[in-house]
Copies of this chain bind each other. A is one copy, B any other.
């Protein structure tokens, strides 16, 4: 049995990979065409769901990288993001602009967290 567990493996990627007490997530996005705030909510709901289903949580995130398709949405994304994090355990974060796989996607997050 492998020491790497693939969560929801697909033809292109797994939703998450678990190894040695760590969980690595694929880029998570929200609902195409929705507002930046709504896409941020959707995206963070997905992160919560994946982490909780696999024995981690947002309180255990070590590093998050956020991409915005338009950096002008920085404040709109942060209003949702800042309310979401565990204030006792703020993850490390970086945020930059990158156009995403679909023009209807406004935000994407890459998460690395500890299990447990």
* Chain A residues within 8 Å of B, Cβ to Cβ: 2-4, 6, 9-17, 19-22, 24-27, 60, 62-63, 65, 67, 71, 74, 78, 81-82, 85, 87-101, 108, 110, 112, 114, 116
Q: Which residues of B contact A4 (CB under 8 A)?
A: 60, 62, 89, 114
Number of this chain's copies in the complex: 3
Q: Which residues of B contact A99 (CB under 8 A)?
A: 71, 96-97
Q: Which residues of B contact A110 (CB under 8 A)?
A: 63, 65, 94
Taking a contact as CB atoms under 8 Å apart, the answer to whether B12 and A90 are in contact is yes
Q: Which residues of B contact A13 (CB under 8 A)?
A: 85, 90-93
Taking a contact as CB atoms under 8 Å apart, the answer to whether B27 and A90 are in contact is no
A101 to B: closest C-beta gap in Å: 6
Sample of 4 more A-B contacts, CB < 8 Å, known A17-B92, A96-B101: A2-B89, A9-B90, A94-B108, A96-B99
